[in-house]
A and B are shown apart, each in its own frame.
Chain A
Amino acid sequence: MQFMLLFSRQGKLRLQKWYVPLSDTQKKKISREVIQMVLARKPKMCSFLEWRDQKIVYKRYASLYFCCAVEDQENELITLEIIHRYVELLDKYFGSVCELDIIFNFEKAYYILDEFILGGEAQETSKKIVLKAIEQADMLQEEAETPRSVLEEIGLT
């Protein structure tokens, strides 16, 4: 996989993961191009698009589009299910995930993705194992943190 983008119906990028080295300018250009292309698609059209020498595989879940670019030889259907499994992981972790969860907890969305896909390839496809790894990290977080005052949190002290 070359990259994965999550974006809203309004074209706002919510998560971007790049598995090939690109400059920030190139990334911005590609995101714009791909978002524009996918948003122009009508429902019931097929989920695959030829793009440059790659393939775009996308699917919409509620207000969010999940979109992957894969190499020409890659299996489109299994990529579609990669997307679905990632949605399942987010859903299970956040409990009926919605766009806001991903906005406010973007770092978590990245952690979950890193456990599931690494370097553009599936690392662990078992839902249980991925979630267990994230849970463990959360446990470590809870142990480590002491409660703070609200004022301190918003930087007023």
Chain B
Amino acid sequence: MPAVSKGDGMRGLAVFISDIRNCKSKEAEIKRINKELANIRSKFKGDKALDGYSKKKYVCKLLFIFLLGHDIDFGHMEAVNLLSSNKYTEKQIGYLFISVLVNSNSELIRLINNAIKNDLSSRNPTFMCLALHCIANVGSREMAEAFAGEIPRILVAGDTMDSVKQSAALCLLRLYKTSPDLVLMGEWTSRVVHLLNDQHMGVVTAAISLITCLSQKNPDEFKTCVSLAVSRLSRIVSSASTDLQDYTYYFVPAPWLSCKLLRLLQCYPPPEDGAVKGRLVECLETILNKAQEPPKSKKVQHSNAKNAILFEAISLIIHYDSEPNLLVRACNQLGQFLQHRETNLRYLALESMCTLASSEFSHEAVKTHIETVINALKTERDVSVRQRAADLLYAMCDRSNAKQIVAEMLSYLETADYSIREEMVLKVAILAEKYAVDYSWYVDTILNLIRIAGDYVSEEVWYRVIQIVINRDDVQGYAAKTVFEALQAPACHENMVKVGGYILGEFGNLIAGDPRSSPLVQFNLLHSKFHLCSVPTRALLLSAYIKFINLFPETKSTIQEVLRSDSQIRNSDVELQQRAVEYLKLSSIASTDVLATVLEEMPPFPERESSILAKLKKKKGPGAVSVNELEEGKREGGELNGGGERGGDSSAIAASNASTPSPSADLLGLRAGPPVTAAAPSAGSLLVDVFSEAGINDDGFLRDLEPTTESSDSLLAEGPGDSDSAPPSVVSEDPTPLPESDELLNKFVCKNNGVLFENQLLQIGIKSEYRQNLGRIYLFYGNKTSVQFVTFTTTVTCPGELQSQLNVQSKPVEPLIEGGAQVQQVINIECLTDFSDAPLLNIKFRYGGALQNLTLKLPVTINKFFQPTEMASHDFFQRWKQLSQPQQEAQKIFKASHAMDTEVLKAKLLGLGMALLENVDPNPENFVCAGVIQSKAQQVGSLLRLEPNAQAQSGEQMYRLTVRSSKDTVSKRLCELLAEQF
């Protein structure tokens, strides 16, 4: 072993690294780096030809600088030159540089490929390996095109050295992953598969990764690998711990290869050949047996390697899902791990058991561990382990233990980590629905959910409970009674008020016989919550009130009084005002019959997949929840959400039609009804509005917050779907900015501070400062309401090519904003090169349980990076002439949108960031400006001329704006931005 003393090799590099480490500040470091870069640049550009050693040293320094996080824009050519050096270490540094800093510059790729080609044909194994490593590290398409044909040949050639074969196999794997169409195994297939028989364990280890990947894509072509893999595995498993020499790791024979063999077998069904299968089962049993043997070493590496194989074997057993004996043994083994002192093992055991729970053979065995898992949920200190425990409880839940598991999950929810609450809520809601035997338990569970974790109960969950209650006659009375009791709590969650409003509005009559819950008591209870609720909930409550008038005529005068009060009928919110006005009219004009028809009990909902399940699937990604789950639940649980019993009821059908979103024929019929037309000519539209679903909310503020109306359809369809439901807030991942965001952006072209956005809930103030190519923005989010915003998150994204033009970093913002409070966020911006789009700022938060989501454009425009340039008249026109190519100029003639006030114009132009040049233009009416845009990549000098024409022919005030700059995109963008300013 050569002595490795520090500083052998390249002393100059070591000195440089020490210097950097001694730098006391970031500035000092940058200074030292810039000095070094200048030095290297001059060396590379110097007349004196550099020798290989110096070139190597400088390339290595550049690499170091790059790895520190700085950009390197030269030296690639020198690195490529090193590739063709005869000296190994020079070549090696060259390849390392290329591997780390690939440049998509095609000229360079061609040169690199040339060097690689030479090395591949050199027959020098160390050179060949270097070249293959480089291909594997870069893995670009150009390289695949150049070498995908050659490498299989090297891989299977009889005279290829083992080390080269290993590199070739993995190199090919990398190329296959990037460009599968270019890697054609064809004739080589069988010889590649037979690498599994290679004498050299290293070759097998490398080749098996390639074979596994190819088998996943073309299982048939590679199926002969199964028997080879089984026999290889069998030899390893039965070998004594010393047989494999250096491939034994802490007394475990070939753990990496064993895991990979077991993984390869998971690409295939159980072997059909009885002998092969017998041998494999034997292997799996041996692995399970070994887990019970006392450890050969106390080192954690020993047990990790051993257990890695065990877990992989269990994965294979689960994959086959055909050997009950092995499945149960696997489950027992995992059961032991559940109480192991190693956190890692507990975590993996919980994870692995989750898949075992879905096998019919081991489901019961998994269930026996319920107490341990519940205990893990309560006592594990690591949230990721608790999460696994919750997953496992969900997976092992069935009819027999549903009540226990749901109860445990509910009690865990009270203290659960915020990060997993929403998912827990969905899981509880699904289990409660899936295994509900009696629906009163279901209703209790969901109401408990709302009570414990109301903020995390999404719309889907409370929609669903309403769908089910409406579809099940037998639970309606119970639901009304329970929700009435729940509402007695002095502080109850807004979601509870929504469910309460809906259910009492529909079924309050079922409990009205009891004097303790008489109609007026019910109404007063609901109305006591009214003033604390958000607008959507109040809207829902107003609908509940009109239903009360129908159900209980004795409440009519009380409710009419409420509707008539100024706080309703003159509410500043149009939606509330409209409902109050319309309901008041409806209650006073419509006859009892009409009222009864309009406000008929809701018809049953068509049976459909639980929207909650869909949501969980979406949240967890495909595969997390089996598609059949709900059907399974149905099979066991019988008709849960069975609609249709009341389908024959003609009044229900009428009401059903009436409540469809579009004004249908029935509605027209209603509108023709004499009482309505006689009294109010506008009542037609009134009724249409009452019945049209979320359409009424077009003017509501929620709409403003949710620009993506298209995506709301699916969610709306999942909702209770009646005319009275509050407008559901739309959860959309697509950050489409608000329609007015362009206008908001334009407001800030010439100024840096002000109010960026404001609606009824939220005000966003902005302060920004720019220096050179850097900017800092302070955003102030103010909560205008008296209710706190929770899970407040903001994300700043750069769409499309902006990503490579701006570097935007935002500090996280406080997730909670108290009512009336303000929080601040700092955003740092670096302009890499010129740009036209603006970064998007997406804001999400929950207000009273409803998710708010809005996207704005952050007012970062190219002119913010202007550096003003003062210059004399002569210079200005000389530069103006220099920029005379047509694409360098952008011009716009436009009407003035504001009065032509010279002082205002000057202030705006100064705000733009350019220097306003006096006495330059021969015409004193005109304005000229000059400035340089600072970006990291380049500086773009820009000149501007604004010519006001106060008396144009049309009699209107016009401007002509001309921008010239050294870059066409800059001229164009500046012109666009400025044309909106005057």
**A135 and B92 contacting across the interface, CB-CB below 8 Å:** no
Residue of B nearest to A27 (CB): B69
Find A123's partner among B2, B89, B205 (CB 8 Å cutoff). B205
Residue of A nearest to B134 (CB): A114
Contact of A119 with B246 at beta-carbon distance under 8 Å, contacts A44-B381, A135-B2 already known: no
Residue of B nearest to A136 (CB): B126
Of listed A25, A48, A118, residue having the most chain B CB within 10 A: A118
Report Cα–Cα, A80/B54, bound state, in Å.
39
**A106 and B64 contacting across the interface, CB-CB below 8 Å:** yes
Q: Is B163 an interface residue (CB 8 A)?
A: yes
**A121 and B11 contacting across the interface, CB-CB below 8 Å:** no
Find B206's partner among A78, A104, A111, A124 (CB 8 Å cutoff). A124
**A118 and B206 contacting across the interface, CB-CB below 8 Å:** yes
Q: How far is the CB of A60 from chain B (nearest CB, A)?
A: 13
Find A78's partner among B12, B139, B305 (CB 8 Å cutoff). B305
Q: What string of 1s and 0s marks CB contacts (under 8 Å) between A100-143 and chain B?
A: 11011111101100100011111111111101010111111110
**B14 and A123 contacting across the interface, CB-CB below 8 Å:** no
Report Cα–Cα, A136/B139, bound state, in Å.
26
Report Cα–Cα, A47/B342, bound state, in Å.
10
Q: How far is the CB of A107 from chain B (nearest CB, A)?
A: 6
> Which residues of chain A are within 8 angstroms of B139 by Cβ–Cβ distance?
21, 119
Q: Is B311 an interface residue (CB 8 A)?
A: yes
Contact of A46 with B346 at beta-carbon distance under 8 Å, contacts A118-B170, A126-B247, A135-B1 already known: yes
Of listed B60, B89, B247, B307, residue having the most chain A CB within 10 A: B89
Of listed A100, A124, A128, A145, residue having the most chain B CB within 10 A: A124
Q: What string of 1s and 0s marks CB contacts (under 8 Å) between B120-141 and chain A?
A: 0000001001001100110110
Report Cα–Cα, A20/B951, bound state, in Å.
63
Report Cα–Cα, A111/B88, bound state, in Å.
13
> Which residues of chain A are within 8 angstroms of B257 by Cβ–Cβ distance?
125
Contact of A77 with B246 at beta-carbon distance under 8 Å, contacts A45-B343, A114-B137, A119-B170 already known: no
**B246 and A85 contacting across the interface, CB-CB below 8 Å:** no
Q: Is B459 an interface residue (CB 8 A)?
A: no
Of B171-179, B557-565, B608-616, B736-744, which stretch is located at the interface?
Answer: B171-179
**B89 and A144 contacting across the interface, CB-CB below 8 Å:** yes
Find B381's partner among A45, A100, A110, A119 (CB 8 Å cutoff). A45
Q: What string of 1s and 0s marks CB contacts (under 8 Å) between A33-77 and chain B?
A: 000000000001111111001000000000000000000010111
**B88 and A78 contacting across the interface, CB-CB below 8 Å:** no
Interface members, chain B 584-608 (any A CB < 8 Å):
none
Main secondary structure of the interface of B (DSSP, over half): helix
Q: How far is the CB of A47 from chain B (nearest CB, A)?
A: 5
Main secondary structure of the interface of A (DSSP, over half): helix
**B178 and A118 contacting across the interface, CB-CB below 8 Å:** no
Interface members, chain B 139-188 (any A CB < 8 Å):
139-140, 163, 166-167, 170-171, 173-174, 177-178
Interface members, chain B 287-305 (any A CB < 8 Å):
301, 304-305
Report Cα–Cα, A16/B177, bound state, in Å.
21
Q: Is A9 an interface residue (CB 8 A)?
A: no
Q: Can you list 11 contacts pairing A with B, beta carbon distance less than 8 Å?
A: A50-B387, A53-B621, A73-B263, A76-B344, A77-B304, A81-B249, A81-B255, A81-B301, A85-B249, A104-B7, A121-B173
- A contacts, CB < 8 Å to B: 13, 15-16, 19, 21, 23-25, 28, 44-50, 53, 73, 75-78, 80-82, 84-85, 92-95, 100-101, 103-108, 110-111, 114, 118-129, 131, 133, 135-142, 144-145, 148, 150, 153-155
Further pairs besides A46-B344, A81-B304, A125-B249: 20, Cβ < 8 Å: A15-B67, A21-B140, A28-B69, A46-B384, A50-B384, A73-B263, A75-B311, A80-B344, A81-B255, A84-B304, A95-B4, A106-B64, A107-B92, A121-B170, A125-B254, A126-B247, A129-B246, A140-B88, A141-B9, A153-B11
